[in-house]
Structure 1
């Protein structure tokens, strides 16, 4: 239990990859750092993540353990199970209101990550329906299978990545299907749009033939034509049926999930008459994608911009991770949804900027910031998981806006 009015040099909100990486680097510069997170243990989404990266398995739990151990050696204070409900800057310091009292610091880094977008389907309040992230946590963090046989509703990068993890963990999946068409689903319910997204992920395909075919089809703009002839039963990826011409109509059951009513759809996502059938499953994972969890930046008075390539509305920030609110910084998925590796490099960059602004680094600070910016660029370019196409271009647009407005005093 912290004492009311505790003071430190830097408060970091979020103990995920960005927050922990920033904390360790800032502590290396000699700053007193306190990290707070509402979850019961540090690590964030890394705790349930693993995937193949450059010929080896990247295991998030292992990386998180290494970051947490380093934080302990450097004297970083990590407070978990702590909620933040307010931020106010008075004179030259922030007052951060938390569930264990007020914290004060001249600088705050928001590394709050991202949240899942709800994907409503008729019957989604039944026990056994969960977000795809919840299924990931159950299987990979708590080592409990979410059910005997499940179905994923929603075709996106998050769904594909976690489907692979669940398959490796021994979870049986009947398939990955489209959500029902409607205003909330939008393009996510259309086979053509999903096929274009998957073509952008050709490097993740499980065979060289699929990877080459996807690249050729994308370069020739064949998504619409392929969508018309995509197999009705789908294709198998990691032995999971990927069904671009099948949509979930309803989730059925009395006291819990018992089945899902599915239907064939045409290339535009419209249900074909008489094509419905019931698929027996005992759990359903809804995959609506991710959006930046940025409410605290709004509370602090930071302006926002809308960038769909990065997940939606996010706080305006510079390439050095500064915001227009002096002393407020951002890093990780709050700046746009990308991989944990990018978030970690952004955290180190934010720490370098904070170190310079706090006069904690010395004469070599600008060089360190420049090197950290280059590291972010290299990590982004090499990232295996790209949540949306056009991320690099969107980033450049944000930084141009910063230069055209904030840097000239608009």
Structure 2
């Protein structure tokens, strides 16, 4: 019998599976992709220390460690439902229904789409798709591209595309609309980018960014933002130009843009067309939490974490007995933090399963401390107020679920 079913073979899922298996539990990992690794296998960047983070190598390391621990990994398996039946979870998949007393949902994140006219043309893709095609499948997505959307994810993948010899001509914003939200507002985009200003390539830019955090300086800066933009790794970032339409007949031929004012409103008569043979839409990431929702797990909308996230404790429990979560399903952060959260979940599951004796408590506490340390050391955060978001969730957990007597009463009333 399987003790633990892990849904998602990304960094959180594999790390959780390894920890569970090393504690003596029988573990199966399932993932819809053709091989394990999740978003790790598309990542390639240089860290502040000068070392290279190679996601393919890191995912292979996790994969091999999981195999050493006799973890059963099933790739190419889709999950479409998750439900509790007495003491067992039923995980309905494309290979049948699997059952186990414990489930770890490590389903990761998805990209926000920003629809605009022409976005269904061949050659238009999400920024994440460009990353996977480039770094995983070794496919050149095009020769002359435009990125629509300016955020930390877009800049990270821009660098990866450049390393592969793929030229991105410009970065523009999406047109301001209810669908694009803050991604179409120049000042809001500027504010979000200032949280990564310490990574700017020159001391002058880093110093200038400190002034831009002041509201008056930032508003003034947006009014006089150069039409030619400022360069990010050699690619012009045009905060005062918005994409109105992707043009082309049978494939992408260009993007029609217009100038905007400091608030993102289109200035009539300023339209022009930038040539391109591929377009990447960068809307940012949100927690991919549908399966947890299907299971009946309660949710909370916390913008600082990236959107709706399942209720969970700092030890990765949910209010549903036997269901645990880890990684970007709990809030958007880096692969390193996802792995560390997976380790927490693994120890937490082992503790609930009665494995590891008294040592498991210390291992669990140490793994929680490790996440705090990694978060403090993180060079960038996809959502800069992540600490505040985490605190909101853990305070909510304390209020709703930390009192066993109250929970028992509520169950009786229910």
Preserved CA contact (<8 Å) 1:129 1:285: yes
Of 351, 366, 374, the match for 1:371: 366
Partner of 2:412: none
1:228 correspondence with 2:218: no
Partner of 1:179: 174
Partner of 1:4: none
Q: CA deviation at 1:160?
A: 1.3
After superposition, the C-alpha distances for 1:202-240 in whole angstroms (9 at most, x for unaligned) are: 122122221222133225663222111111110111111
Partner of 1:249: 244
Q: Partners of 1:194 and 1:220 in 2: how far apart?
A: 14
Preserved CA contact (<8 Å) 1:200 1:218: no
1:393 correspondence with 2:388: yes
Preserved CA contact (<8 Å) 2:195 2:380: no
Of 38, 48, 69, the match for 1:44: 38
Preserved CA contact (<8 Å) 2:147 2:280: yes
1:347 correspondence with 2:345: no
Of 264, 275, 286, the match for 1:280: 275
SS in 2 for 1:322: coil
Q: Kindly tell me the number of residue pairs found equivalent between the two proteins.
A: 404
SS in 1 for 2:242: strand
Of 78, 86, 90, the match for 2:81: 86
- Describe the shift of the 1:200–1:59 C-alpha distance in structure 2 as closer, same or farther (beyond 3 A): same
Preserved CA contact (<8 Å) 1:115 1:291: yes
TM-score, with length taken from structure 2: 0.96
Partner of 1:198: 193
Alignment of 1:305-320 (within 5 A): 305-320=300-315
Q: CA deviation at 1:26?
A: 1.1
Preserved CA contact (<8 Å) 2:304 2:388: no
Partner of 1:20: 14
Q: Partners of 2:197 and 2:27 in 1: how far apart?
A: 41
Partner of 2:29: 35
Of 93, 99, 108, the match for 1:113: 108
Partner of 2:323: 328
After superposition, the C-alpha distances for 1:81-115 in whole angstroms (9 at most, x for unaligned) are: 00111112111111111100111111000000001
Segments ≥4 residues shifted beyond 4 Å = none
Preserved CA contact (<8 Å) 1:14 1:110: yes
Partner of 1:269: 264
Moved more, 295-304 or 381-390: 381-390
- Structure 1 unmatched runs, 5+: 1-6
Q: Partners of 1:340 and 1:125 in 2: how far apart?
A: 30
SS in 1 for 2:208: helix
Q: Partners of 1:277 and 1:151 in 2: how far apart?
A: 14
Q: Partners of 1:97 and 1:219 in 2: how far apart?
A: 52
- Describe the shift of the 1:92–1:44 C-alpha distance in structure 2 as closer, same or farther (beyond 3 A): same
Q: Partners of 2:3 and 2:267 in 1: how far apart?
A: 61
Moved more, 46-55 or 314-323: 46-55
Moved more, 310-319 or 358-367: 358-367
Partner of 2:59: 64
After superposition, the C-alpha distances for 1:302-357 in whole angstroms (9 at most, x for unaligned) are: 10000111110010000000000000000000001111111010000111111111
SS in 2 for 1:222: helix
State the Cα RMSD in Å: 1.1
Partner of 2:5: 11
Q: CA deviation at 1:370?
A: 0.8
Moved more, 228-237 or 105-114: 228-237
Alignment of 1:140-151 (within 5 A): 140-151=135-146
Q: Partners of 1:236 and 1:359 in 2: how far apart?
A: 55
